[in-house]
Homo-oligomer: A and B are copies of this chain.
Amino acid sequence: MDILVTGGSGFIGQRVVVTLLERGTVTIHGVSTADIDNLIVVDVAPPADPFPDDPRVRFVQADFTLPDTFTPLITPKVGLVFHLGAAVSGECEQDFDLGMQVNLWSTHRLLEACRHRAEQPRLVFTSSVAAYGGELPDVIGDDTPLTPQTSYGTQKGIGELLISDYSRKGFIDGRCLRLPTVIVRPGRPNKAASSFASAVIREPLQGEEYICPVGYDTAMYVLSPRRTVEALVHAADLPVAEWGTNRSVCLPGITVTVSELVDALREIAGEAITDRIRFQPDRFIEQIVHGWPARFDPERALNMGFQADNSIHEIIHAFIEDELQETEDGVQRL
């Protein structure tokens, strides 16, 4: 079987590729497995770190907002698609048309390319808890409606509705995961409104000052990259019957405040590190972030076998292990 990964040069995409290569197989109907023959990665730019030197990997540099990108890529051999490619929340808020192109029309074109195949491929889509918004209950449950208050959240919500209907019609076998804020992302701050949640840990650990654009008491619902990748692969593995009439699930995460993040970082790395953090609220970022809910009861996802991290400490330790290079004397580069 071939697998296609959109947005595969991204941080999560790269990890999905590596995880799939290591595993070497895909689960079929929850009972048998098929070997992964080819892993086709499509993205507008090559990855920051090169993909593993593996004959199964083929990188296609392509702008999937162009009309004909997907059709030749979705060959009859492609049995599974991870659709991770997206414009991030801040970008979508600042450039409405870009967000619609990348997140909505491209998703629709991908679904159409899948639909016109003889056999329906499985498709795993990264939605987001940013699709919740407006007047929300104190705790988000599986029965909370999507009333997004950002264009990004709107586009993710529409993607879910399309994937649900394409699945019901038998055009694809879709599975949508509403991701918590994924921390700690490596690299540099980006235009995602949630960028601060990683940066407030990452930048000080990498020796940088960081000006945090949201207040101490800002609460977030977070998931580590490790658990995110596990969830994406698990979503693909689950038998179709587990999804029933609802192709979307909100993933389990943990709720942390910026204050708790900073406290945990101080306990792990020391006060000299957390002294690098300054606070200077940015109204544009705060307005987006405060519209996102932070407390959830993800019962359905837990019943389906998805897992949250155990603690914020575990998340920070995982970042240090996975992303920070060790120096010659065995100490982390911090």
Which chain A residues have a beta carbon within 8 Å of chain B's beta carbons?
96, 133-135, 137, 143-149, 151, 154, 157-158, 161-162, 164-165, 168-169, 244-246
Set of chain B residues within 8 Å of A145, measured between Cβ atoms:
143-146
Contacting pair A165 B137 (CB below 8 A): no
Return the contact of A169 from the options B96, B147, B162 (Cβ within 8 A): B96
CB distance from A129 to the nearest CB of B (A): 14
* Given contacts A143-B145, A145-B144, A146-B145, A134 and B165 within 8 Å (CB-CB): no
Minimum distance in angstroms from A147 CB to a CB of chain B: 6
CB distance from A38 to the nearest CB of B (A): 30
Q: Find chain B residues with CB under 8 A from A146 CB.
A: 145-146, 161
- With CB as the reference atom, state the residue of chain B lying closest to A171: B96
Given contacts A135-B245, A169-B96, A246-B135, contact A164 B143 (CB under 8 A): no
B-side contacts of A162, CB under 8 Å: 154, 158
CA gap between A169 and B149 in the complex, in Å = 10
Residues of B within 8 A of A154 (CB): 161-162, 164-165
- Chain B residues whose CB sits within 8 angstroms of the CB of A245 once the complex forms: 133-135, 147, 149
